[in-house]
Structure formats: C-alpha cells, structure tokens
Amino acid sequence: EVRLVESGGVVVQPGGSLRLSCAASGFTFDKYTMHWVRQAPGKGLEWVSVISWDGSTTYYADSVKGRFTVSRDNSKNSLFLQMNSLRTEDTAFYYCTRTDHVMIIYGGFDPWGLGTLVTVSS
C-alpha cells in the first residue's frame, strides 16, 4: 500500500522556523516527483513546492519563495520542507503528495498524506 505520513506540525511564533517531514512507503520513492500542498482551515488548496525524483529540480509558490526550502533523502524515503520566517498566513494543514507517474514533474497528484497542521501565532 502506498502511504505518505507527514509530521512536524506545531504551534510556532511569527518569524520562527519549522521543518516538516513526510515518510513514504509502499512505492519506489526515488522514481517519483514529490509536492507540498497546503490548506488554511476552511479555505481552498494552495500548491507550495515541488521536488523532482532526483532532487535536481525544485519550484516554489511565490508566497513562500525565499522562505521555504524543499528537499528529499531518497535513501530514507523521506521528503522535507524547511520553513523559515514564518508568517501568520502560513497557518495551514500541509499535505505531502506525489505526481502519480514515474519520473515526470507534470501530472496529477496521488496519493496524499493526511496532513500536518502548522499554526503560526504569538
């Protein structure tokens, strides 16, 4: 079974930092592009970042560019999101997901993890 499990969400003060993790299992992790997508409580979905299967290509939403960094450790089947200079508007559930075909960046996202809640508040 393909599984994605996010962790690391906590309450953090504005200006603080946080590192989210996503543990992948049930598939050949190093062949898939991975994404972070977030959803503020009661709001819609916002794509955050992508990293290609080999880590050579990354893209970011303008809202997080320069503050967030996506990375992966293929030897540990893990995806990460380093979040710096956090703002109250970064408060959201953060989902880990993958492009649903091997070795491509552009495609549908499936499956998704259950999400981890990041709350930025003083």
What is the binding site for other proteins (CB under 8 A)? 35, 37, 44-47, 50, 59-62, 95, 99-100, 106-115
CB of 38 closer than 8 Å to CB of 93: yes
Report CA 90 to chain centroid distance, whole Å.
13
Q: How far is the CB of 91 from other proteins (least distance, A)?
A: 17
Kindly tell me which of 32 and 95 has the beta carbon lying closer to other proteins: 95
Q: How far is the CB of 11 from other proteins (least distance, A)?
A: 19
Which DSSP category does 10 fall into? -
Question: In 3-state terms, what secondary structure has residue 65?
Answer: coil
Kindly tell me which of 92 and 115 has the beta carbon lying closer to other proteins: 115
CB of 43 closer than 8 Å to CB of 60: no
Q: What residue has token string 């809202």? A: 63
Q: How far is the CB of 17 from other proteins (least distance, A)?
A: 23
Q: How far is the CB of 122 from other proteins (least distance, A)?
A: 27
Kindly tell me which of 29 and 115 has the beta carbon lying closer to other proteins: 115
Kindly tell me which of 20 and 113 has the beta carbon lying closer to other proteins: 113
First-to-final CA distance of the chain: 40
